[in-house]
Structure 1
Amino acid sequence: MPKYKPADYEVLRRRCVELDQAGWKQGPIAQALGLTQGWVSQTLKKYRQQGPLALQWRKPPGAPTRLTPDQLCQLVEELNKGAEHQGFAGAVWTRPRINEVILAS
């Protein structure tokens, strides 16, 4: 089975639906696109349930923030003061430095 980039799957989902609407069966669609029949089945199921929006590529959401909106605002205020104001040598913010500011708040 070929390897695709995540964004390529939107094109594959759209092609999958086109072939289905042209009367192709799931097995031949999967074979033609180099995907599994299960993937084709799930794509068509989502399309029937959600319509064209189900075909769009979406960036994975990632982990939810652990800071409250107020804490995020406070963090931005502290970062805007500058790294040197927080006691660091140099004006560059790094992830470890930002983590220290978060833990100190």
Structure 2
Amino acid sequence: MMRPVGSPEELERKRQRAITLIEQGITQAEIARVLGVEPRSVRRWKHAWTEGGREALGATRATGRPPRLSARDRQKLEKQLLKGAVSAGFPTDLWTCPRVADYIERTFGVQYHVDHVCRLLHGMHWSPQKPVRKAVERDEEAIQQWVKQDWPALKKKRTG
């Protein structure tokens, strides 16, 4: 069955108009002709109206398939992402989509394709980041000392 043409609000107005015409005593076949719909649609609307009143004819959004990870599970996932990959049992602290998929399957028992994990993370407002590459031999203390002592002296020489 194809979806009728029109916004949900326009379709609701059409259903409400059909009920108004039914209340005025007009036949269902005539209502279908006037509104440009199938008679079975008018019968379905009348049945919904008798069962649930005019509220049953209201516009509803198509919700789609429910997510496999609940909102609570997504919050738990986000907390783990913030803690880092090492705390989840991975050798480095870099989160990749395959690692996130593996973590989701181990923790929540839900299997996601790697491509969908990327969409899931994007929906959680996470974006891909390039890891900062640093030399293994890097000495942070020596760098800080150089920035505080040597760099200002070099800056002064250059300016003047």
TM-score (norm: length of structure 2): 0.47
Matched, 1:97 2:151: no
**Deviation (angstroms), 1:75:** 3.6
Q: Residues 100 and 73 (structure 1 numbering): CA distance in 2 closer, same or farther, change over 3 Å?
A: closer
Bigger CA drift: 34-43 or 72-81?
72-81
Distance 1:16 1:80 in 2: 55
Secondary structure of 1:14 counterpart: helix
Distance 1:96 1:72 in 2: 12
Partner of 2:45: 43
Distance of 2:117 and 2:17 partners within structure 1: 45
How many residues were matched structurally? 91
Larger radius of gyration: 2
Structure 1 length-normalised TM: 0.69
Distance in 2 of aligned mates of 1:100 and 1:9: 35
Q: Which runs of 4+ in 1 moved over 2 A?
A: 74-81, 85-88, 95-101
Partner of 2:17: 15
How many angstroms does 1:18 deviate by?
0.3
CA-to-aligned-CA distance 1:79-101 (integer Å, 9 cap, x gap) = 789xxx7469xxxxxx6524479
